[in-house]
Amino acid sequence: MNRFALAFAAALTFTAPAYAGDYRVGGIEIRHPWTRPARAGANGVGYLTLVNVGGKPVKLLMVQSPAARAVTVHQTSQEGGISSMRPVTGPLKIAPGASVAFAPGGYHLMLTGLTRAQAVGGKVPLTLVFDGGRRIRIELAVESGAPKAGAAPAAADPMADMHHDH
Ligand SMILES: [Cu+2]
């Protein structure tokens, strides 16, 4: 491999933010990864938007973090006015040009058993593992999660204090 090829390979694996808080690696873009303040030992949540900007389908296989005992993909659903959530089994597929939003009320990353407290302004490391062995390391920014206009206040978010039995 010549020097140019080495430099090119290094550039491909480097996680360069397109703009603050965003990541773009190969054909995958990760927008606004964030989490809420939480106590050590509690369960945390992770929100972000995954965009497939490449030409091939991608599959999110798993998510890992040294900041939690386990990380799983959950989906919140509303049925008959009752909010519930369940783990998403199997890989999450994203077609070329498509995106998946992890946001309050829908998909979210469940960080079970936080190893330390998360305070506003902090960063929580996370690794997204995709098919083909691609691993993307990101940081969730700890934010207070101020609701957008028209959204329920953060305190009323069912995820904010939800207890997990698994
Ligand atoms: Cu959950």
Residue 132 located in a structural domain? yes
pLDDT tens by residue, 30-68: 999 999 999 999 999 999 999 999 999 999 999 999 999
Residue 158 located in a structural domain? no
> Ligand 1 centre and the CA of 1: distance in Å?
46
35 is in which domain, residue-wise? 3-144
Residue 73: CATH number of its domain: 2.60.40.1890
pLDDT bucket at 2, cuts 50 / 70 / 90? low
> What is the number of domains present in the chain?
1
CA-based end-to-end distance of the chain: 48
Residue 70 located in a structural domain? yes
27's CB contacts (< 8 A; 6+ apart) are 52, 53, 54, 55, 56, 58, 96
> Ligand 1 centre and the CA of 18: distance in Å?
29
Q: Show the tokens assigned to 132.
A: 């083909």
Residue 34 located in a structural domain? yes
Residue 120 located in a structural domain? yes
pLDDT tens by residue, 82-94: 989 999 988 999 9
Residue 99 located in a structural domain? yes
